[in-house]
Structure 1
């Protein structure tokens, strides 16, 4: 019931993750690195007739989760879909503090 017109189809009508639809995002838009999206590639995915996620969602995700090279990695985006993104980010932050 929470699907919107620009939904990517990564979840089916029963809420199950559809890996082929997830991979399709990278097949269509990842031009620089097959396992990551750049800021420009995310912008091009928003400009299509059926954008993958809204512009604000992309901006927030990119700001929070890009790596040191400015890439939004496939594993990171997958962690948004499986709900583990913030747990991973917290663990990374704790790990960085331990190594200071």
Structure 2
């Protein structure tokens, strides 16, 4: 039986995530592709100034600026694209990317969260 758009699941396979690591990133994955909770948490403890356990668009920009490596234009662009996409998909109604929502990228439940939020809006 072929799945249709309402029943299919889009999965992100992270077993090869280390192949996508680039410069100017947050360090949330190590060189072997293992999630590093301390580096992930640091995003929010260092840069979440307005609301605990969340970052707004300005704070995300400050985080990306702090992680920039000199001469790493590709890594900077990748970091900006990744975080801007996540922010646009998962920010709350007040313009904050909550830590729990950001974590969904790392545990493969982002699309479940988006589907849940989308169905609650309808």
Q: Same fold (TM over 0.5)?
A: yes
CA contact (8 A) 2:87 2:97 kept: yes
Q: Which range moved further: 43-52 or 85-94?
A: 43-52
The normalised TM-score by structure 2 is 0.69
The normalised TM-score by structure 1 is 0.82
Q: Distance in 1 between matches of 2:67 and 2:27?
A: 14
User: Residue 83 of structure 1 corresponds to which residue in structure 2?
Assistant: 108
Between Structure 1 and Structure 2, whose CA radius of gyration is higher? 2
Q: Which range moved further: 52-61 or 30-39?
A: 52-61
Please report how far the alpha carbon of residue 33 of structure 1 lies from its aligned counterpart in structure 2 after TM superposition: 1.1
Give the 3 Å change call, closer, same or farther, for CA 49–90 of structure 1 in structure 2.
closer
**Unpaired runs of at least 5, structure 1:** none
RMSD: 2.0
**2:119 aligned to which of 75, 80, 94:** 94
Q: Does 1:72 align with 2:97?
A: yes
CA contact (8 A) 2:25 2:64 kept: no
